[in-house]
Amino acid sequence: MAISVKGLFQLCQQNVVELTFTRRNEMRYPPNRRMLCTLDQKLLNSDLGKKILNFTPPRFAPPYNAAKKNLVTVWDIMMQDWRNVPVEACKVAVAIPTKNQKDFWDFFDKKIKKMSAAQKAAFMDKK
């Protein structure tokens, strides 16, 4: 499903979201990217969020207004860093609610934790 800047921002505040998008910089390989991301501050700032997801709050605000550039800045769970998602080329595949963090950590333990670096790269490169 296609989504707006506000819609993606709100969705990421209460979920871990699997999404796909086409990169704006076509020189980047691969041009398409799949991502697991979130903006849920309770999850990210939890002990497990800091320890396992390596969450670190932003050190400074970006020098531009991301929303005006049709971007949403999210925490990329696989890359464990902040990333900008171009909303015009973004499709949401799945949203995993994080209200009950145990549900997310169960998913993480079953699906993500066991992945090798190569498997994570394959996940991110998959359309």
Name 116's Cβ contacts closer than 8 Å, sequence gap at least 6. none
CA distance linking residue 122 with residue 103, whole number of Å: 24
The pLDDT tens digits along the chain (127 residues) read: 568 999 999 999 999 999 998 877 766 667 788 999 999 999 999 999 999 999 999 988 888 899 999 999 999 999 999 999 999 989 999 999 999 999 999 999 999 999 999 998 888 887 6
Number of domains in the chain: 1
CA angle 88, 10, 97 (to 5 degrees): 110
- The DSSP secondary-structure symbol of 27 reads T
- State pTM to two decimals: 0.90
Range(s) of the domain holding residue 71: 5-125
